[in-house]
Chains A and B, each alone.
Chain A
Amino acid sequence: EAQVTQNPRYLITVTGKKLTVTCSQNMNHEYMSWYRQDPGLGLRQIYYSMNVEVTDKGDVPEGYKVSRKEKRNFPLILESPSPNQTSLYFCASTKGTEAFFGQGTRLTVV
């Protein structure tokens, strides 16, 4: 079954404690991306990757890092999380122009 898998689904952490949200896709897609979703602001792109070792900033990259060492994985790294990064995060994998999304990670930073 074609899918995008994010982990964890829920995470509560404290300010400043580094964390990683993993994302994996089994569709051999080249393009992957991360979004955050906030009430009233909708979905905004954080980072995207057009292929292995090729990443670029989206609309709201501050406070985030990503890596793309292999095609299937695209982890999102928060080196020093802050409360304003409390949000619902989605990873997406795109083939052509059709995007497939993970189930989301609800992150709370206290």
Chain B
Amino acid sequence: KQEVTQIPAALSVPEGENLVLNCSFTDSAIYNLQWFRQDPGKGLTSLLLIQSSQREQTSGRLNASLDKSSGRSTLYIAASQPGDSATYLCALSGNTPLVFGKGTRLSVIA
């Protein structure tokens, strides 16, 4: 059964830093990977979707990469801002239901 792990579980950084969030999965068969943002008590907002044939996607200050062979994805956030504070979730998608990691809770300190 596919398992998704996100490290670290929590991260606190000063404003302006670049940072990397990690997501690893156990089954390296071809999957698409989606990164979400969740604010406390709120719904999930899709940030980036990496198709199985792609290696990375970029949106503004966010860049997500996917390495299927090693079972890893990273979310890079450039020049972090206090408004980036949230929980970031990765999820594997495809023909099977989404499998989520437990998230990384990010705090950006002004």
A joins B in a complex:
yes
Which A residues form the contact surface with B (CB < 8 A)?
33, 35, 40-45, 48, 58, 88, 90, 92, 94, 97-104, 106
Q: Given A42-B89, A94-B98, output 17 extra A-B contacts at Cβ < 8 Å.
A: A33-B98, A35-B100, A40-B102, A42-B103, A43-B91, A44-B100, A45-B98, A58-B97, A90-B43, A97-B94, A98-B34, A99-B34, A99-B91, A101-B36, A101-B45, A101-B46, A103-B43
With A43-B89, A103-B43, A104-B42 as given contacts, are A97 and B51 in contact (CB-CB < 8 Å)? yes
Whether the Cβ atoms of A98 and B49 lie closer than 8 Å is: yes
Partner of B93, one of A42, A98, A103: A98
Contacts of A44 in B (CB 8 A): 100
B63 adjacent to chain A (CB < 8 Å): no
Taken together as a complex, chains A and B put the C-alpha atoms of A90 and B42 apart, in Å, by 10
Contacts of A45 in B (CB 8 A): 97-98
CB nearest to B50 among chain A residues? A97
Contacts of A90 in B (CB 8 A): 43-44
Query: Which DSSP category, helix, strand, loop or mixed, fits chain A's interface?
Result: strand
Which B residues form the contact surface with A (CB < 8 A)?
32, 34, 36, 41-46, 49, 51, 89, 91, 93-94, 97-98, 100-103
Taken together as a complex, chains A and B put the C-alpha atoms of A68 and B100 apart, in Å, by 24
Query: Nearest chain A CB to B27's CB is how many angstroms away?
Result: 16
Query: Nearest chain B CB to A47's CB is how many angstroms away?
Result: 10
Contacts of A35 in B (CB 8 A): 100
Contacts of B101 in A (CB 8 A): 42
